[in-house]
Chain A
Amino acid sequence: AQKITQTQPGMFVQEKEAVTLDCTYDTSDQSYGLFWYKQPSSGEMIFLIYQGSYDEQNATEGRYSLNFQKARKSANLVISASQLGDSAMYFCALGKYNNNDMRFGAGTRLTVKP
């Protein structure tokens, strides 16, 4: 069974500072992917970043980077230079490599303060 955990219901960060959103997972699969999505107040789900279980380097996409620690089964999202527009819900998700299924964490609500 796959399980994904986000332990931070809410986080606050000052504008222009960096913030780390935690995500841990549990899976018996050897091949899997980890995803982060952003859900602003408007409701849509926006794909941010992906990390494959066999990727040796941490994924980066602009201001987003994924701190992947496979042995610890964690895939934390780091947002650098926070902007007011980053205020949203952030979801971590675990997917099987052939993407037949994805499991989502409960989400973390990030608030960026001016």
Chain B
Amino acid sequence: NAGVMQNPRHLVRRRGQEARLRCSPMKGHSHVYWYRQLPEEGLKFMVYLQKENIIDESGMPKERFSAEFPKEGPSILRIQQVVRGDSAAYFCASSPRGQPNRSGNTIYFGEGSWLTVV
């Protein structure tokens, strides 16, 4: 069962380093979403991408954060010059192209990547 795959599951970075989180969507899914979950908080939408396009990045911090979803390969969430406040769980999710289905066209989540900045 090839679900949404995220790696690494756990990542430790020192302040000022770069963090790269990868997400491979479910087979056949061309929509990818990134969410951030801070300790004791809910999920916060960050960015929504389709292949080679950023559709909605209204939840992305203006600096240091970027995301891409190239034609080939996984989606990448990049955080430059990490700070302690970036420590969080980052969830990727994917969905099939736009059509409603019995399950409500829900999005499917990966298991998350936990970033710790020391």
* Residues of chain A whose beta carbon lies under 8 Å from any beta carbon of chain B: 6, 33, 35, 37, 42-47, 50-52, 91, 93, 95, 97-107
Contact = CB atoms under 8 A, between A and B. Distances in A.
Interface string B72-92: 000000000000000001010
Nearest to B114: A43
B106 A50 contact: yes
Contacts of A104: 35, 42-45
Contact of A44 (B55, B56, B105, B109): B109
Contacts of B48: 100-101
A52 B104 CA distance: 7
A86 B106 CA distance: 21
A44 B33 contact: no
B98 interface: yes
B103 interface: yes
A99 B107 contact: yes
Contacts of A35: 104, 106
A47 B108 contact: yes
Interface string B19-32: 00000000000010
Contacts of A102: 33, 45, 107
Contact of B111 (A44, A47, A52, A93): A44
Nearest to B42: A106
A105 B42 CA distance: 6
B95 interface: yes
A-B pairs, 10 with minimum CB distance: A50-B104, A45-B109, A106-B42, A104-B43, A44-B111, A107-B42, A99-B105, A33-B104, A104-B42, A43-B112
